[in-house]
Chains A and B, each alone.
Chain A
């Protein structure tokens, strides 16, 4: 009996060490699980496309009332595999008027300091009409060169207006398993009042839903809920985000029909 108990406990400990914890609860804010392409991706791309099926608004987003769509690499993998132990983040920012900016920010995982950033526009933001409305599409694609380093990052916004920008940063950083964060900015947490749509994660390589990060890297958070990944093992995965649009009120008092 003792042998069985000891064996079971040993197995449990081994499982806890080698298998990351699964989450039974729905993913929220800065944790929507992660996607991976399984290999060091060379001459390839991995994109995130956010298609809004309902308008996006928020009741608060301290400290500056700006929200972000973040494309974040895994913290542990960045520590292990990224040269200089750096964390390479790409982000689209928007204020409540749809004034947007695109950004790449690289942080030292030794000191927490900013090692590099580049923004478009370099200062302030640029208005793009309709980016917070139904049917708007937010897009970030990271392209990799022959040695798996990120060669360029394409940002796109398509709505009533449009704006796109491609950064060619130094080719210092490699693509690593990543996740999406509909979040705040400057370390803050956004409380979304209304939002909904579908995330598409696509590549020329097969993509996989993988266990969520053990340790979150981004300082921001939100109340944005995410659904389960669909299409794992294919070149296009999907995941819902936000809330379904409110159902219209039931017909009453002869207000419906003719």
Chain B
């Protein structure tokens, strides 16, 4: 091998090593991790225990606009009341950023819960007030390599194979929309957030980022 070739290979190796070192710190974080009360939340702020019996086989979308830039992760949670849930019910969630599908999560509900909810009061118009017991099903996009700016619209879709009681937002900043009626969950790759008909109630969707 000629001397010039050897130097070229060495330079290539050094360059590649520098790039790797720059991309990822080689020393683990030595500090401690805080249990922070404060969080970057931009979804529903619902704390009332009001539920709506979400119909089966209907894709429902709810959108929120981020009030700060979103980095590291985007997580959503949909609260279900563990009340008379039929075993084997499929619950499927979709997460969209700027109308594009970025994550899905599929659950099969067992119908068995440590603390089943009870209906405290029938609130009429398909609503009921429940005891303080909820189950939060989540969908998330983790390890973001770049952040999204404030003003980014995030949409969450929910679909269930049987009716389930979902926590609703009684003081909503956003509406929910019934998009399609389908016996199978088929999340569209691109969503028109305000398409479809306005759902009777806005689903309570917790959205968090950092």
Contacts and interface: CB of A to CB of B under 8 A. Distances in A.
B207 A122 contact: yes
A114 B133 contact: no
B20 interface: no
Interface residues of A, number: 57
Interface string B4-38: 00000000000000000000110011011111111
Interface stretch (B40-48, B156-164, B174-182, B186-194): B40-48
Interface in A98-118: 101, 103, 105, 107-118
Contacts of A77: none
A90 B132 CA distance: 19
B41 A112 contact: no
Contact of B47 (A68, A70, A87, A124): A124
Contacts of B210: 113-114, 117
Given A116-B73, A124-B47, A186-B36, A163 B132 contact: yes
Nearest to A101: B37
A112 B31 contact: yes
Given A165-B136, A167-B138, A187 B34 contact: yes
A168 interface: yes
Contact of B107 (A123, A124, A168, A218): A168
Interface in A165-193: 165-170, 172, 183, 185-187
B115 interface: yes
Contacts of B113: 166
A34 interface: no
A185 B114 contact: no
Nearest to B38: A186
B35 A164 contact: no
Interface stretch (A12-20, A154-162, A196-204, A228-236): A154-162
13 contacts: A70-B35, A103-B35, A111-B29, A116-B142, A119-B206, A119-B208, A120-B134, A121-B206, A165-B136, A186-B36, A186-B38, A217-B32, A219-B31
